[in-house]
Amino acid sequence: MRKSTMARPGRIRKSTRPQRYTTVVLGAGGVGKSALVMRYGKNVFLDQYDPTIEEEYEVTVELEGKRSHLEIIDTAGVEQFTGINESYIQRGLGFVLVFSLTQEATLKELDHIRQQIYRIKGGEDVPIVVVGTKMDLTGEREVSSQAMQELAVRWNLPFYETSAKRGWHVSEVFNDLLSRMRKRYPDGPPKGSATRRKDQCHIM
């Protein structure tokens, strides 16, 4: 497990004690999970692919006048579902499922991950957003917006198209998930879901 520090400038207003929510980022290797997280946290783009060995970040977020802590777990590719991935799902309160718009096969893999989340969490009332990356690579695209819309209806989940390279729609992904976690857990994370303290950064 590697630790990294992310920071983005901005003022954090005084408020009540912020709630902590664990978010797990899952998807096949090479789809851009780390690039998505780094664009959100540092507002930078990872130009070279570096296969992630699970990293965790703690991000302080100010959204709708309320402050929250996001513990973001950036996982390695899940071509083979392992006990490690299951342990992360058990810890997670919200999930970002990532595929590449340039590789249709990576979208198909998410259905298995989604079903595993429902199985492990004991139901479908789980905050999840689905993210298609690399939307700037229009000439290499294999997944159409129409296909995503149809799947969004079938899965009853929100879908986003993003580009970590261009910074398109990245913040919307995490803001939407945070809103869903707050709604799902209005009194804060359930007992027994406490997480370890990680390096902190601030996001507005």
Model pLDDT, residue 37 = 92
What are the structure tokens assigned to 200, written together?
Answer: 């902190």
Model pLDDT, residue 174 = 97
Instruction: Give the pairing type, strands 19-27 and 94-100.
Output: parallel
Q: Assign domain 18-203 to its CATH architecture.
A: 3-Layer(aba) Sandwich (3.40)
What distance in Å separates the CA atoms of residue 34 and residue 72, rounded to the nearest whole number? 11
Model pLDDT, residue 17 = 79
Model pLDDT, residue 69 = 92
| pLDDT, tens digit (0-9, with 9 covering 90-100), for 130-143 | 999 999 999 999 99
What mean pLDDT, rounded, does the chain reach?
84
Tell me how far CA of residue 53 lies from CA of 1, 85, 120, 136, in angstroms. Answer: 6, 12, 22, 26
Are the C-beta atoms of 100 and 119 separated by less than 8 Å?
no
What distance in Å separates the CA atoms of residue 97 and residue 72, rounded to the nearest whole number? 13
Model pLDDT, residue 18 = 87
Counting DSSP H helices and E strands in the chain, the numbers are 5, 8
What pTM value is reported for the model? 0.84
Residue with tokens 């998930």: 177
Instruction: Give the pairing type, strands 55-63 and 66-74.
Output: antiparallel
Model pLDDT, residue 76 = 75
Mean pLDDT is lowest, of 121-125, 133-137, 171-175, 179-183, for: 121-125
Number of C-beta neighbours around residue 135 at 10 A: 21
| pLDDT, tens digit (0-9, with 9 covering 90-100), for 78-97 | 655 566 678 889 999 999 99
Tell me how far CA of residue 203 lies from CA of 101, 114, 173, in angstroms. Answer: 27, 28, 14
- Which percentage of the chain shows pLDDT scores above 70? 79
Domain boundaries, given as residue ranges, for the chain: 18-203
